[in-house]
Amino acid sequence: MTRLSFVLSRLAQTVLVLWVVATLLFLIFRLMPGNPLVAYIDPTFTADMERALKRQFGLDQPLYVQYGVYLQNLVRGEFGRSFFSREPVSQVLGQVLPNTLALTFSALALAYIVGIFGGAVLAARRGTWVEGWGIPAVLATRAAPEFWVGMLALALFSFNLHWFPSTGATSPGSMYASWWAQVWSADFVRHLTLPAVTLALYLQGLPTLLMRSTMLEVMDEDFITFCRMRGLPERSILLRHAARNALLPVVTAFALGVGYAIGGNVIVETVFSWPGLGRALIRAVAAKDYPVAQAAFFFIAVVMIVMNFVADVLYSVLDPRVSHERR
């Protein structure tokens, strides 16, 4: 199998998985109990008025007809209108998506910077007290529930010490000329700190442990032995040779980290009332706002599936030791 054939095969699998996810989302929200138009229907509505409203949203059509229209709209990027706010779903999600991206990539940057250096230190100090205390600490932060860590952070740094705000992305009444001006403001950074650190504590486990295990493998390679025979300083061997060669799996794992971070945002944004995609998803499900919830679920699934595809392709392209040719 050539590299091109491998990429095309993975692309076909990605499209198939996206179709399955889209189909499951369609069925789940159609089969859920309750009236999806509860936000529209007034107690004074007659049966004829309710039927007219269902006809307006296409909910009076057979399920297979709704499915066909749903797939066509999905391909065009149209998700309909929110049942609750009456606004286009793309506009509703577009208002909160920038906040989610800011939280996601801030947490990822912090997690991978700490993880890369922490993993290298754990590998270099193998068998010492640093490794003995470091690995349990990494595993504990990885296993700790995000909502629990978030509540501890709120209780300590927000409610007791009053160092950081407890909710929102900006202080009430704050006005900014643009979203970029808001992002670079000190007020936004203060609101972002606690949720970003909470999410980063969960995400750092993967790069830390992956960097450590890869470093240990690289340290046993012949070229490391040759560097020691040449009399190179140990720090130079670790940083310039071992760490550089151990970075590749961590770099490709970054793509997977994007998907995990988007999924983990749902809990973190709910705990900190962060106005992002995850909080919009929870509110939409609670309000039976099916178009918004369906689009938010689908966006999160798309990010995770596409990032898995990107990670596979990156690894096959960047690592010369990996060959997809079979004779």
Please indicate, yes or no, whether residues 154 and 228 belong to a single structural domain of this protein: yes
Q: DSSP string covering 236-250, please? A: HIIIIIIHHHHHHHH
Please indicate, yes or no, whether residues 260 and 190 belong to a single structural domain of this protein: yes
Please indicate, yes or no, whether residues 35 and 164 belong to a single structural domain of this protein: no
Please indicate, yes or no, whether residues 257 and 136 belong to a single structural domain of this protein: yes
Q: Tell me whether residue 255 is in a domain.
A: yes
Task: Answer whether 107's CB lies under 8 Å from 199's CB.
Answer: yes
How many domains is the chain built from? 2
Nearest to 155 by CA among 272, 296, 3, 240: 272
Please indicate, yes or no, whether residues 14 and 120 belong to a single structural domain of this protein: no
Please indicate, yes or no, whether residues 22 and 164 belong to a single structural domain of this protein: no
Q: Quote the domain boundaries for residue 100.
A: 89-318
38: part of which helix (H) or strand (E)? none
Q: Tell me whether residue 81 is in a domain.
A: no
Please indicate, yes or no, whether residues 200 and 254 belong to a single structural domain of this protein: yes
pLDDT per residue over 261-318, tens digit each? 887 788 888 888 888 888 888 888 777 777 888 888 888 888 888 888 887 777 666 5
Please indicate, yes or no, whether residues 255 and 118 belong to a single structural domain of this protein: yes
Task: Answer whether 82's CB lies under 8 Å from 92's CB.
Answer: yes
Task: Answer whether 32's CB lies under 8 Å from 25's CB.
Answer: no
Instruction: Provide the greatest CA pair distance for the chain.
Output: 89
User: What is the reported pLDDT for 35?
Assistant: 59
CATH number of residue 106's parent domain: 1.10.3720.10
Please indicate, yes or no, whether residues 102 and 208 belong to a single structural domain of this protein: yes
Q: Tell me whether residue 326 is in a domain.
A: no
Three-state DSSP at 79 gives coil
Q: Tell me whether residue 223 is in a domain.
A: yes
Q: Tell me whether residue 324 is in a domain.
A: no
pLDDT per residue over 139-175, tens digit each? 888 888 888 888 888 888 888 888 888 888 777 777 7
Please indicate, yes or no, whether residues 61 and 109 belong to a single structural domain of this protein: no
Please indicate, yes or no, whether residues 134 and 229 belong to a single structural domain of this protein: yes
- What percentage of residues in the chain have a pLDDT greater than 70? 85
Please indicate, yes or no, whether residues 254 and 301 belong to a single structural domain of this protein: yes
Q: Tell me whether residue 82 is in a domain.
A: no
